[in-house]
Structure 1
Amino acid sequence: MRAYGARDHQVTVTGTEWLAPHFLRVWMTSPTLLHDVVVAPAAYVRFWMPDPDDPDVEHQRGYTLSEADPATGTFAVDFVLHEPAGPGSLWARRAEPGTTVQVTPLGSTRFDPRQSRRPATCWSATRPRSRRSTASCEPCPPRCRWSCMWRSIRRRIGSSRS
C-alpha cells in the first residue's frame, strides 16, 4: 500500500465500548486521517497491527469506519474478538486510551490523477503480453515504442498538463 503512495496516519485510542460479549467498539482520533478518507458508508482503512510475538513485525488488517466525524477527527472501529485471536483481535482487546497505531486510508481516499506526482506507468505496445515500466514516459519521443497510458488518462480527464 505504501508503494502505491498511500500515506500513514497515527491514530490514538480515546476509549472503548463493549457492544456485545465478543464485539468491541474502539474510539480513536487523528488530526490528519479524516482529511484523506472519503467519509461515506463502507469507508475503510488499513491498520498496521503489531505482531504479538515480535514488535518489529506488522500485520495489515482492514476495518470499516463507523461514527466518523471529520470536523473533530474522531471515529470508531468495531472489532469482532475471536479465538484463536489474530493480531487485530489482540490489539483491540489490549487497546486503552493513549494506545497508538498506524493507519493507511488506501481505498477510501480522495484521488485526483491530475494532481498526482507519481511517474506515469507505460505498457509495451509491441509485445503480445504487455510489460510494465515505472519509468516516466513524459515526454514520449515521436516514434516511441511505448504506449503511454498517462497520455490516454490525460485525454479522458481533460487535463491541461503538458
Structure 2
Amino acid sequence: MALAHRFIAIQTEDFDLGREVTALRAGQPTVGAVSAFVGTVRDRNDGASVATMELEHYPGMTERAIDAMIDEAARRFDILGVRVIHRVGALQPQDQIVLVAVASAHRGQAFQACEFLMDYLKTQAPFWKKEHTPQGARWVDARVSDDAALARWGITARNA
C-alpha cells in the first residue's frame, strides 16, 4: 500500500521531536494518534562503559530498506503517516540516535506500527555501530532479543 505521508532522513544533525511530530500531523485532520519512539546512546553496553558510538550506513541502500519497511507497516496497519530519522556519525551518551513516529486515526494502530517499524529497523536496516570503550573499539553485533522481537511479527531476521 502506498503511504503518501512518509519522511526518511539519514543525518548527522540532531532532531527535534516536537517539530517532527508537528510535521507528521500537518495537513492531516484525520490523525487522532501519534506514537513516537526516540532511541538514545547509553553510557554502558554489555558491561562496558561506552564513551562514543559511531554509526555508519550504506547511502541509498539504507533509505530504500527503510522505505520498504514503511510499505510493510502500511500493509499491516491502518496508518496515515510515518517519519523515520536515523543519525550517523559519532554520537555521545544521551545523544538521540533514532526517531520513529507514526500517525493513525487510532492509538492502537499507531502504537503497533511504531513498534513494528522499530523492531524491523533494529534488525533489517543496513547500519553498522561501533562502540568506543576503555578496552578499545568494538563493532556491535545483532542481538538475539532483537531477532526475537522481529520474529513475533512473523519475519525471520536476515542476520539470524
* Higher relative contact order structure (alpha carbons within 8 Å, sequence separation ≥ 6): 2
Q: Please tell me whether Structure 1 or Structure 2 has the larger radius of gyration of its CA atoms.
A: 1
Work out whether the TM-score is over 0.5. Answer: no
Q: Counting helix residues as a fraction of each chain, which structure ranks higher?
A: 2
